[in-house]
Amino acid sequence: NNLSIAGETGTITTDSSNMAITFDTHGTGDINLTAGADVNLPADIGLTFGDDGEKIEGDGTDLTIASSNDLNLTATTDINVPANVGMTFGNDAEKIEGDGTDLTISGNNIKLTAVADVIIPTNVGLHFTDANEKIESDGSKLILTSGGTTFNLPTSDGSSGQALVTDGAGTLSFDT
């Protein structure tokens, strides 16, 4: 089979539709592509690394990065995901998405597992449905809101036989 290089068009062609073109540096040298514009791959033609187990391919609409094992993203600064673009896990029911202000994590069963404390900053609450049901801290005590009524918990324990009582304004204390 023949390989030809066309003059001014810069086109490399073969006379066989199944002929592979190999660039071999015979050592550890790089193969560098230099272009004044994009390097284009047609839709549904992938770039493989070793075999199809590691492949980047686009279909003209979606880009797929596939790995037969782990996919590692390594950066020396942030990995940026645009606002209103989510990461889905299996389907849209399991998704992490940010709108530039709020981060939303959705799923059928969301589990948080930590090997150390999960720290919620002062005056930031853990809401259940809305602000009418939440738990938060002002830096000195826990504040529980239930049905829109706010209760300030005591900061010390009571004596044996005492119970929590309210002053009618949401402050709880221990009394007999």
What phi and psi, each to the nearest 5 degrees, are found at residue 125? -100, 160
**pLDDT value at residue 140:** 94
Q: Are 142 and 122 in contact (CB under 8 A)?
A: no
The low-confidence residues of the chain, meaning pLDDT below 70, are: 1-10
**pLDDT value at residue 17:** 75
**pLDDT value at residue 44:** 94
**pTM given for the model:** 0.60
**pLDDT value at residue 3:** 57
Which H, E and C letters describe the chain, residue by residue? CCEEECCCCCCEEECCCCCCCCCCCCCCCCCCCCCCCCCCCCCCCCEEECEEEEEEEECCCCEEEEECCCCCCCCCCCCCCCCCCCEEECEEEEEEEECCCCEEEECCCCCCCCCCCCCCCCCCCEEECEEEEEEEECCCCEEEEECCEEEECCCCCCCCCCEEEECCCCEEEEEC
**pLDDT value at residue 22:** 77
In angstroms, what is the C-alpha Rg of the chain? 30
**pLDDT value at residue 109:** 87
Give tens-digit pLDDT for 41-51: 899 999 999 88
Cα distance between residue 21 and residue 144, in whole Å: 70
